[in-house]
Chain A
Amino acid sequence: MANIMYWEAIQRAHDEEMARDPLVICMGEDIGVAGGTYKATKGLYEKYGPLRVMDTPISEGGFTGLAVGASFLGVRPIVEIMSVNFAWLAMDQMFNSAAKVRYMSGGQLTAPCVFRSAGGAAHQLGAQHSARMEKVFMGIAGLRVVTPSNPKQAYGLLKSAIRCDDPVFINEHELMYNMKGEVPDGEYFHPLEGSEIARAGTDVTLFGYNISVHWCLKAAEILDKQYGISAEVVDLYSLAPLDRAGIKASVSKTHRAVIAEEDEAPVGVGSEVIAIINEECFFELDAAPVRVHSALVPQPYNHTLEKATIPDHEDVVKAVLKMFGKA
């Protein structure tokens, strides 16, 4: 096991796959000579050259479509969208071309593309650079969506996404690229579907994904130490499809659910998980499920207002205590 950073894990997955298959290529703004805004493609330009590590113009709609077109002929492009906020410009090609081509062509064409992007809110980047957009991607038929919460997942999910014949969107997080964690030394393919129990517990399930898994883990620690509440943390690394069986299994055990998301509430991961709970195990519930989420405002620049929009582990703790009638 190597203890490496999230960005290094992503870089390693690129490197291994590019070394194995000459049709694996990557592209994006400043990913080549500059090595990538978050270093996720560091050193690849020097190793694989400009034909396979492409510094693109600022043409998100154009180069994303180009990648999709190349994938029709078996190329496996990994497209980096510098920030998820810019993905709006690429969505036409992701949604209308990549996600639908297999169906529209009756299975003749496929678009085995990987789209990676830095999501989440960082620090004071303002309304047009702080959007959380998981919700936008997770309702598109034909598109898989995964979101790594640690370096092992970042590595293994990218490896599997490159090999998978479906288009996959990988939602990373601006604040997590320097996070360290254990990654297997040997090749490792993380499942693209399912969920993971990040911490076992019996009294309540805390659902998180990406950065909110860490709020949940921290909250579980506090709930255990200070309040004697045993929380289970479920890491929903796959957002499309969501793991119905995993959600059902955990709620059937704990009978309570809190969903923590950095995104705003409407039409989001939380609403979807609650719908699944209703459909799969409504009568197992001892309390109404609760969402912890951001305020529905364009991200304010001001630091204090920004903090007020985004939840953290304390909000998760509060939600659980309220559910248990302790607050």
Chain B
Amino acid sequence: MKIEDKKRVLREMVLHRRFEERCYQAYIERKIGGFLHLYPGQEACCNGVMEAARPGHDYVITGYRDHVHAIKCGAEPKEVMAELYGKETGSSKGRGGSMHIFDAGKRFMGGYALVGGPFPLAAGIAKAIQLKGGDEIAICFLGDAANNQGTFHETLNMAALWKLPVLFVCENNLYGIGTSIERSTAVVHQHKRVAAYNIPADECDGQDIEIVYEHARKAVDHVRAGNGPFFLELMTYRYRGHSMSDSRGYRSREEEELWKQRDPIFILRDRLIAEKAITMAEFEAIEKETDAYIENEVIKFAEESPEPRVEDLEKYVLADRDTQLPWLTGKAA
């Protein structure tokens, strides 16, 4: 990666981290409700892959741990935060919540709460790209445990069969809620599971963004060149619990500590310092500026935004009736 890009991405990753930490605080303050799944620890995965892809141009879909993916695609952080606050100005108008961030304009096709649900949706998006003849690709970010759903196998088969332009990114953080991968899955290294479908696959460290970027570039190029699907597995770790109600009794503090020593942000920071591209003081300034931005723009916007109106409860359930009358009444001209 170019130095300038690395410096920019470092700043973005700090934003992603601080945004999530601020969500944690807002949840404790009961400003955010429902289920909240945070991303700290895994930032190099989304960032590394999307640096190799074209955010806002390529289509991205994921599960419920979706804030950072949305922001990386170009969603406004303040609109994502407003969504978490349930406000009308939120990215899903306050109807979706944390697990359902959407920004279709930025080609972020959403977060979905049912494990394994997005696999075939991603293949369908790829099918549409194929039909329309664009140069976009579909990127599906999901966890390791999702691969135990039937949709994983069914989708891999179809994607390979029809040579669909879809990149499957498996963020293998070693756990599905409180069950470790050894206890849920016969094969720990997920890329081995796709060999049977004739799909090229690769695995790499998910904590070092430059490594992720190098592997992702090959993956993205492969798919964009019309060679069909690719499966990229990134070995990573989530620092917080699965969601807010998780006290992490299923793993040891020592294991967590080991992974914290491979913090994706610190890996990039220290490399840039070693390369004399930034100083520690500059990094600390980035953190401060980021916090100020989150407080003064992101949180403020979410706090001050209006709630949806109860009269609009049934808005978005179906298409606007007036626009559909010919079909609803059978009186098409």
Binding site for B on A (CB under 8 A): 29-30, 33-34, 55-62, 85-86, 88-89, 123-129, 295-298, 300-305, 308-309
Binding site for A on B (CB under 8 A): 33-35, 83, 86-87, 92, 94-100, 112-116, 145-146, 148-150, 176-179, 183-185, 249-250, 307-308, 310, 313-314, 317
A228 to B137, CA, bound (A): 67
Tell me the minimal C-beta distance from B44 to chain A in angstroms. Answer: 25
B178 contact from A34, A60, A125, A128, Cβ within 8 A: A34
Cross-chain contact B94 with A302 (CB below 8 angstroms):
yes
A85 to B99, CA, bound (A): 14
Cross-chain contact B310 with A301 (CB below 8 angstroms):
no
Cross-chain contact A127 with B100 (CB below 8 angstroms):
yes
Cross-chain contact B97 with A62 (CB below 8 angstroms):
no
Cross-chain contact A85 with B114 (CB below 8 angstroms):
yes
Cross-chain contact A128 with B100 (CB below 8 angstroms):
yes
A190 to B54, CA, bound (A): 60
Cross-chain contact B177 with A59 (CB below 8 angstroms):
no
Cross-chain contact B250 with A33 (CB below 8 angstroms):
yes
A288 to B103, CA, bound (A): 47
Q: Which residues of B contact A301 (CB under 8 A)?
A: 33-34, 83, 86, 92, 94-98, 100
Cross-chain contact B179 with A126 (CB below 8 angstroms):
no
A188 to B34, CA, bound (A): 36
Q: Which residues of A contact B86 (CB under 8 A)?
A: 124, 301-304
Q: Which residues of A contact B149 (CB under 8 A)?
A: 58-61, 89
Tell me the minimal C-beta distance from B312 to chain A in angstroms. Answer: 8
Cross-chain contact A126 with B97 (CB below 8 angstroms):
yes
15 inter-chain pairs at a CB distance below 8 angstroms, sorted by A residue, are A30-B177, A55-B184, A57-B145, A58-B116, A58-B149, A89-B114, A124-B86, A127-B96, A296-B314, A301-B86, A302-B86, A302-B97, A302-B307, A305-B94, A305-B308
A58 contact from B115, B183, B250, Cβ within 8 A: B115
Instruction: For the complex of A and B, list the 6 residue pairs with the smallest distance between their C-beta atoms, beginning with the closest.
Output: A301-B97, A57-B148, A124-B33, A124-B34, A302-B86, A128-B113
Q: Which residues of B contact A309 (CB under 8 A)?
A: 313
A29 to B114, CA, bound (A): 13
Q: Which of B94, B95, B184, B310 has the largest number of chain A CB atoms within 10 A?
A: B95
Q: Which of A56, A58, A125 has the largest number of chain B CB atoms within 10 A?
A: A58
> Which residue of chain B lies nearest to A123 when distances are taken between CB atoms in the complex?
B33
Cross-chain contact A300 with B313 (CB below 8 angstroms):
yes
Cross-chain contact B314 with A126 (CB below 8 angstroms):
no
Tell me the minimal C-beta distance from A287 to chain B in angstroms. Answer: 28
Tell me the minimal C-beta distance from A22 to chain B in angstroms. Answer: 23
A304 contact from B115, B145, B307, Cβ within 8 A: B307
Cross-chain contact B100 with A59 (CB below 8 angstroms):
no
Q: Which residues of A contact B94 (CB under 8 A)?
A: 300-302, 305
